[in-house]
Amino acid sequence: MGKRKSKKGANLILQGGVMAVALFVVHLCICLRQIPLTNIWGDEGNSMYSAAFGLFSIAWLITSYAVPYTISFLLKPRLKQGQYKNAGKVIQAAFLYATVLGTGIGAAVFFGSTYLAETVMLEPLSALSLQIFSIAILASAWSSVLRGFFLGNGASFPVALSLLVEQIVSLAAGFPLALACQKYGGKVGSLLQNESFSSSFAAAGFSAGIAAGAVLSFLLLLLLYLATHSYYKKRNGKDSGRGRESMVQVVSIFFACLLPMMLYGLFVKGYLLIEQILFRQFMSGSLGADLISQQWGVYFGKYKVFTALPVILAAAMVTTLRDKAYILSRKEDYQHMQELVRSVLQAVMTAVAPVSVMLGALAALLLKACFPAQDAEEGAVMLLLGCITAIFFSAAYVFAQTLWGMKRTMLLLACVFPAFLVHAGALYVMLEILHLDILGVLYADIVYSFCLFVFLMAAVRKSCRFRYGLLRMYVPIGIAAAVMGLILYFLAKALGGVPAPAALIVLVLLGTVIYYAVLLLLHGISQRELRMIPGGKWIIKAARAVRLL
């Protein structure tokens, strides 16, 4: 019993295993790399890069995002039942999908780069980056098929390794290429009397690093596949001959599984491109091109980078939630389902709330420490106003994973699609009617995160008859985070003359102590719940030392 309880209360991140750690590191790299990049090319470079990267992200969501999980979902039962020919047809269907769409969309992006950059994104100098990203689109599509093959065969290590190698190569090649191309672009810009070429070429250089990472990751996966193909072929043995499926049936099943997840990805992850396009299009008549680039560069490269950190932490903590929810839903064990969701949600909120509030309270210090040569005022205002979105998005992610695990796919889409429509409507009102420039995008972002949170919470409540105990769960966390935030905000003002990095480190440590001290005094968290959050064991030891536990 003791061992079972200790496992049950173990750190949620550690429960996720190799893939959880790999995905956490990958998402963290994608997010944090924007800090040195912003120091290289500034807010203008952020705008150029985000225009190209936003379109690449949509192409990736269509061609690659849902493919590994779809293949894995279809392969596992067929391999278990000895239906190896049917499993082979799944791989063929996936490879055909990845090749046709990867090649088609990649070619469209390459040959239509000038039109997309000038007319859709209103960022002409992002065309070169778009052409480079077209290579990464096809490589990522093929990689997604091989990742699905390995996941379906129960081998997560090659997938985790390929993800890490992709990020390592992207960073190792991207930064030197960005700096080298920036120098070359500066020379071109001086000849053409356009300083923006420096940032444009730097963005293209880093895009080349991302493309190199995608290509080498695919080659690594291909090498591992060729090296292990004979092993898997021998292990799988002869086909059982049961439940023979035609290629048409397999393709139909493949698309039926793929489309819901792809749509979910487009609504939940692709919304940033919609924000970008609408902001650029609606503001083109009232703001100059330089001001549009500067404002979007701050929003994308500073506000979105830091508000994504708590969501990444939440995603790492709930890696196993989907599988656990699936097992409990098959048993129709709603009592344990409620306990699972409640404990995971409380652990996530306990960890995410202080980080989100710190981002807002210490925004000015944070931006001065990370971007010492740039103005921090506009980004600090955005973080102060919008840090709440990190809490809403994190909670929404917990509910979404629960619905995925319960196989409530259509209900999940019925939640995210209306939230997406509300978001688009809010953007129109804020930008076209109220003319709120970049703050209008930020307010629409808050509306979207809140709608996702409310809609998905209601869906989970309906699906597993979940009663949250909102007062007991959220009020202590909210009070502790608010007390911490107010103290840190005024202390940050008082320490204006202290070097930003030193003041930031001291205040983060102090804020952590204040938050957990207040939370424990309010009896807002138990020892079991503390063990589920990162660093929970250290917090328990410290609390016992000062008699708070």
Q: Is the CB of residue 163 less than 8 Å from the CB of residue 19? A: no
By three-state DSSP, how is residue 311 classified? helix
Q: How far apart are CA 75 and CA 165, in angstroms?
A: 25
pLDDT in tens, 127-152: 999 999 999 999 999 999 999 999 99
Q: How far apart are CA 527 and CA 549, in angstroms?
A: 8
What number of residues does the chain have?
A: 549
Q: Is the CB of residue 136 less than 8 Å from the CB of residue 206? A: no
Residues in CB range of 78: below 8 A, 6 or more apart: 84, 86, 87, 90
| Percent of all residues in the chain with a pLDDT value above 90, rounded to a whole number | 66
As given in the structure block, the two tokens for residue 416 are 């995210």
Q: ∠ CA 305-308-310 to the nearest 5 degrees?
A: 130
Q: How far apart are CA 420 and CA 413, in angstroms?
A: 10
Q: How far apart are CA 145 and CA 268, in angstroms?
A: 22
Q: How far apart are CA 405 and CA 464, in angstroms?
A: 12
What does the pLDDT profile of the chain (549 residues) look like in tens digits? 344 444 444 565 555 577 778 888 899 999 999 999 999 999 989 999 999 999 999 999 999 999 999 999 999 888 888 888 888 899 999 999 999 999 999 999 999 999 999 999 999 999 999 999 999 999 999 999 999 999 998 888 899 999 999 999 999 999 999 999 999 998 888 888 788 889 999 999 999 999 999 999 999 999 999 988 777 667 656 766 677 888 999 999 999 999 999 999 999 999 999 999 999 999 988 888 889 999 999 999 999 999 999 999 999 888 888 888 888 888 888 888 888 888 888 889 999 999 999 999 999 999 999 999 888 899 999 999 999 999 999 999 999 999 998 989 999 999 999 999 999 999 999 999 998 999 999 999 999 999 999 999 999 988 877 665 666 678 899 999 999 999 999 999 998 788 999 999 999 999 999 999 999 888 878 777 777 777 778 888 877 887 777
Question: Environment class of residue 11 by beta-carbon count within 10 Å: exposed (0-12), middle (13-18) or buried (19+)?
Answer: middle
3-class secondary structure per residue, 384-420: HHHCHHHHHHHHHHHHHHHHHHCCCHHHHHHHHHHHH
Say how far residue 212 (Cα) sits from the centre of its chain.
21
pLDDT in tens, 185-237: 988 888 887 888 899 999 999 999 999 999 999 999 999 999 887 776 676 56
Question: Helices H, strands E: what count in the chain?
Answer: 25, 0
Q: Is the CB of residue 143 less than 8 Å from the CB of residue 162? A: yes
